[in-house]
Structures are given as C-alpha cells and as structure tokens.
A = this chain, B = another copy of it.
Amino acid sequence: MFSKACEYGIRAAVYIAQQSGRGVRTGLKDIAEAIDSPEAFTAKILQQLSKNDLIQSSKGPTGGFEMTAHQLQTVMLSDVVRTIDSNLIYTGCGLGLANCDAQNPCPLHHEFMGIREQLKTMLETTAIRQLAESLESGAAILKR
C-alpha cells in the first residue's frame, strides 16, 4: 500500500505527536527505537517532514523533533503520505495506465474509484494527533 519510507514516516510522526502532546521533544535515536526503524534512514525521512513543515526540528544539545500546537491541530495523515509518496496513490490509474481518465477508463476504473475515494477521505480526515491519542491511551502500538 505505502512505501517503507512512508510507513516509517507515519509511525515517526505519530510518535513525535504523542511526545509533543506531553511537552517532550524527542531525538532521532529515541524515535527509531520507539518505532523500530533503521536510524539513518529514518533521519532522511524526518528531514523531509521537517522541510515541509509537518514537524519541527532543532539542532544542538537538547535538540530533536517535536510538533507545535499548530501542527498538532492541522497536520493530517494525507500530508505525511503526500510528502513522502507523492499523491499518486489517488491520482494514478490502478492498472498502471499513463493516467486515470474517467472518459476513457480502464476496465477496473469504476470498481477502483469508490475504494480510492474512501482511502483519500480517510487520509484527509484523520489527524496525526488523533492517532497519537490512541497510542497515548494504550489502545494502539507502534512496534511489535
């Protein structure tokens, strides 16, 4: 469904959101450990999220990653996915044709559209913060 990079990105964002909710700034090492991801690779992904203003980063001792109150309020799952995987998931043709065109559809177009639309809606209406809350409450986990 998503690329490995995107999966790490979502997990990392959720963890950062959880920690930020507690007022805690967290570092790369912590994050990689918490979400069970390769540290250096995760760093690259966090850079992307940071450059797109989905998270905040600071250097130096006591540095690390966090989400501002504003980011916690506004950053949606779709923002993370779009930043890392591009939004091709819901714009491209499911059968790999050059582009998806309802006027000239592939045989699966209609069947796909419904599901894709739902996926899109889900991503666009789910805030990272919501996911972080289910972590905080113990209802969900980020590694096993």
Contact = CB atoms under 8 A, between A and B. Distances in A.
Given A1-B1, A7-B95, A8-B96, A126 B141 contact: no
Given A95-B11, A122-B115, A109 B144 contact: no
A101 interface: yes
Chain copies in the assembled complex: 2
A135 B109 CA distance: 12
Contacts of A114: 118
B106 A141 contact: yes
Contacts of A4: 96
Interface of A: 1-2, 4, 7-8, 10-11, 14, 77, 89, 94-99, 101, 104-109, 111, 114-115, 118-119, 122, 126, 131-132, 134-135, 139-144
